Amino acid sequence: MASILVLGASYGSLLATKLLMAHHRVCLVCTAPTAALINREGTVVRFPVKGREGLVEIASRDLPGVLQAATPDQVQPEVFDLAVLGMQESQYGEDGVRELMQRIARARIPCLAIMNMPPLPYLRRIPRIQPDLLKDCYTDPEVWAAFDPELVTLASPDPQAFRPAGEPKNVLQVGLPTNFKAARFAGEANTRLLRALESDIEDARYSIGGEMDDIPVKLKVHDSLFVPLAKWPMLMTGNYRCIRPQGMIPIQEAVHGDLERSREIYGWVADLCCRLGADPADLVPFEKYAQAAASLKKPSSAARALDGGALHIERVDALVRRIAGQLGLSNHDLQEIVGRIDARLSGNRLAREERIAA
């Protein structure tokens, strides 16, 4: 039984549930009210399962693993085998979380990020990227300064999940049950741990009506550093194009509203990944992504956050533009996306200042 620390009780509870199914011990890091709720009632994740009508509801209390929740100040990182970074990038600089991150770095706990925004130490593992010139794409880049790149890896957060409206904070619903695709660690020992978790999750089954069934969303470990970057073309083509000058649209509409333009954007970002060192086989073909996007009827989390007045979101758009610039490349559509998000964030910050002044 491995002990896994998961920062982020919303999206993080998806991977946590899969680990609990595989008999592991998980600690979810969250706010005090959410931690009290989870310690009292556990978590619930609803999965679409092939061959089953409706959603299959999996409660942590029915699983063989051990779950607890804690606030950042309660966590002693050295007792864990792995830390999973499942929060939005902007949250790691918040009070309490920042201090926990520094304790994790000092304890030299291997970290698996399931973030859209790759941690700066991970980017240091890619030779053609100059991470020190990317710091202003991050809300608080100094959070990452103490981390050893050999102890940080990334998984593409392909599975789509959300908190259903009106439900408590211990409930999550999976919309698109794809897999977490992780790059190996630099070292063999930590990579063996990842592969052991991959195998345990693959073998786990759940009883539905007395029948043992396979539950989707697996952890897949790859030797290539570039497999997690397969999310970048998806983000630029769909997630960030949900964001309009005013309001937002669903991912399905962003992608399929002008399919040929979407294909061009996707292909350009995929080519950028290949210039960094990716093999085309590391990436997802546009046709496969477009098929998946057809079922995504909600705007992206970034679009919803901006529409709700967020002052910070994960800026993978700005990161990709800056990395492209390091290779002497530029793209009109990407410039437009970055400019639009800059404007929306500026508008949110101005509105906040006006509310405070009033």
173-210 confidence digits (pLDDT tens):
999 899 999 999 999 999 999 999 999 999 999 999 88
Residue 344: domain span: 227-357
Cβ atoms of 330 and 338 within 8 Å: the answer is no
What domain count does the chain have?
Answer: 2
User: What CATH number has the domain bearing residue 295?
Assistant: 1.10.1040
Whether residue 235 is found in the same domain as residue 162: no
Whether residue 151 is found in the same domain as residue 294: no
Cβ atoms of 216 and 58 within 8 Å: the answer is no
Q: Which residue has the tokens 């758009």?
A: 317
Question: If pLDDT is split at 50, 70 and 90, which confidence band does 51 have?
Answer: confident
Whether residue 24 is found in the same domain as residue 169: yes
Whether residue 265 is found in the same domain as residue 310: yes
Q: Per-residue pLDDT averaged across 329-352, rounded? A: 97
Whether residue 310 is found in the same domain as residue 203: no
Whether residue 77 is found in the same domain as residue 171: yes
Whether residue 171 is found in the same domain as residue 232: no
How many Cβ atoms sit within 10 Å of the Cβ of residue 243? 25
Domain boundary among 176, 203, 222: 222
Alpha helix positions (H), the chain: 12-21, 32-41, 97-107, 120-123, 188-203, 231-234, 251-256, 259-276, 286-293, 301-307, 316-326, 332-357
Whether residue 114 is found in the same domain as residue 246: no
Phi/psi-derived region of residue 328, left when phi > 0, alpha when psi is between -120 and 50, beta in every other case: left
Q: What is the pLDDT of residues 325-338, one digit of tens each?
A: 999 999 999 999 99
Whether residue 259 is found in the same domain as residue 119: no
Question: If pLDDT is split at 50, 70 and 90, which confidence band does 252 have?
Answer: very high
Domain boundary among 173, 197, 222: 222
The lowest-confidence range among 50-54, 57-61, 187-191 is 50-54
User: What CATH number has the domain bearing residue 194?
Assistant: 3.40.50.720
Give the per-residue pLDDT at 210: 87
Domain boundary among 196, 222, 248: 222
Whether residue 17 is found in the same domain as residue 153: yes
Whether residue 57 is found in the same domain as residue 110: yes
Cβ atoms of 160 and 112 within 8 Å: the answer is no
Give the per-residue pLDDT at 355: 93
Cβ atoms of 185 and 178 within 8 Å: the answer is no
Whether residue 41 is found in the same domain as residue 112: yes
